[in-house]
Amino acid sequence: MVAKVIDGKEIAKKKREEIAREVKALREDNIMPGLAVVLVGNNHASRTYVNNKEKACREVGIESFLIALPEETSQDELLRKIDELNNREDVHGILVQLPLPAHIEEKKVIEAITPEKDVDGFHPLNIGRMMTGQDSFLPCTPYGVMVMLEETGIEISGRHVVIVGRSNIVGKPAGQLFLNKNATVTYCHSRTKDLEYHTKQADILVAALGKPNFIRLNHIKEGATVIDVGINRDEHEKLCGDVHPEVSEKAAYLTPVPGGVGPMTITMLLFNTLKAARQSKTLSKA
């Protein structure tokens, strides 16, 4: 068996075309969806991510506002800037690029963003709504994973999903989204005993642990769907995921790195911004 590749780039392209059409319709109705991205400091990787988000916004017609602040920006200064963005009518979505400098408390910054503009889906109110199955802004990477599976026609309901990783950004919310779709979910992490025992039971295995090529052939069962969320550099500085390429010999479906989950993350950010703009239109009519 050779795994079928789940082409995240192609699915993202299709979704972005749909988003562009809807953005155009909103603009014709005098609503110009706007995304503000706040970048604190000069982290090279963060700058690259921000540039990619700006480019994606331009592609679909979303206004992009970059607020670049120096490394020494105080927490209070950052919170005041967020409050200013919360009150701007031309800004429908706010994203603060992580990680932040060490002197700034990430939790306070996330909670400062009004939930109606929290297009990253990290605000406790949006997380709570997600947990209880209510409408909310969903975290972009797990949301992108769900869309990839749906677009590929992979059944989720009744399946056993094993998630390796328990971060607040990917692992935890991914498990909840699968649970909301009636999957049976097992979380594994650094203290899980006999990891291989658990992963070999997965119909769908999500690797989100941040270790290059960690998941090997012995970790999966025949015919599993394997979602690789990792973005790492191997010992040769080559871009790779959390899943070793050899897994393709045994899996039925596999996401590549690059070109898998990555393009979907930014796409769902665009979708969330569009959704926020739509909601602002509804609120203004009310």
- Which amino acids are annotated catalytic? 53, 97, 120
Among 28, 29, 56, residue whose Cα is nearest residue 273: 56
Dihedral pair phi/psi, residue 91, rounded to 5°: -110, 115
3-state secondary structure of 92: coil
For 172, other C-beta atoms within 10 Å of its C-beta total 18
Identity at 158, one-letter amino acid code: G
Tokens read off for 198: 């658990």
| Residue with tokens 């295995």, as numbered in its chain | 205
Retrieve residue 165's tokens.
């990783």
State how far the Cα of 228 lies from the Cα of 155, in Å rounded to an integer. 18
